[in-house]
Amino acid sequence: MATEATEEKKEAPEPGRLDKYFGMTENKTNWKREVLAGTTTFLAMAYILAVNPGILSFGIADAIGSGNAPDPGAVFTATVFASALGCLIMGLWARYPIATAPGMGLNAFFAYTVVIGLGIPWQTALTGTLVSGVLFFVLAVTGVREWIINAIPAQLKLAVGAGIGLFIAFIGLKGGGIVVASEATFVTIGDFTSGPVLLTTFGLLATAVFMILGWKGGVFYGMLATLGLGLLTGVVDPALAEGFTPNLDSFGAAFTGFEDAFTVHMIAVILTMLFVDFFDTAGTLFAVAGQAGLVKEDGKLPRAGRALATDSIATSAGAVFGTSTTTAYIESSAGVSVGGRTGLTAVTTGVWFLISLVAFPVFGLVANNPAVTAPALIVVGVLMAKALGGIDWDKLEYAIPAFLIVVIMPMTYSISNGIAMGLVVYPIAMTAKGRWKEIHPVGWALMLASIGYFLFLTE
What are the pLDDT digits (tens) for 404-438? 999 999 999 999 899 999 999 999 999 999 999 99
Q: What is the mean pLDDT of residues 164-173?
A: 95
Per-residue pLDDT band at 249 (split at 50, 70, 90): very high
Residue 299 has pLDDT above 80, yes or no: no
The answer to whether 86 touches 100, Cβ cutoff 8 Å, is yes
Residue 152 pLDDT: 82
Residue 277 pLDDT: 92
Q: What is the mean pLDDT of residues 35-63?
A: 96
Residue 235 has pLDDT above 70, yes or no: yes
351-386 burial, b if ≥16 CB within 10 A, otherwise e? bbbeebeeebebbbbbbbbbbbbbbbbbbbbebbbe
Q: pTM value?
A: 0.88
Q: What is the mean pLDDT of residues 307-318?
A: 96
Which has more confidence, 287 or 46?
46
- Identify any residues that bridge with 102 across adjacent strands, giving them in sequence order: 326
Q: How far apart are CA 240 and CA 231, in angstroms?
A: 11
The answer to whether 111 touches 303, Cβ cutoff 8 Å, is no
Length of the chain: 459
Question: Is 182 strand, coil or helix?
Answer: strand
Q: What is the mean pLDDT of residues 177-196?
A: 96
Residue 260 pLDDT: 86
The percent of residues above 90 in pLDDT, for the chain, comes to 78
Residue 8 pLDDT: 47
Residue 150 has pLDDT above 60, yes or no: yes
Residue 120 has pLDDT above 50, yes or no: yes
Mean pLDDT estimate for the chain: 92
Any long-range contacts for 152-155 (C-beta under 8 Å, 24+ apart)? 152/279, 152/440, 152/442, 152/443, 152/446, 153/398, 153/426, 153/443, 154/390, 155/390, 155/391, 155/392, 155/398, 155/401, 155/402
Per-residue pLDDT band at 60 (split at 50, 70, 90): very high
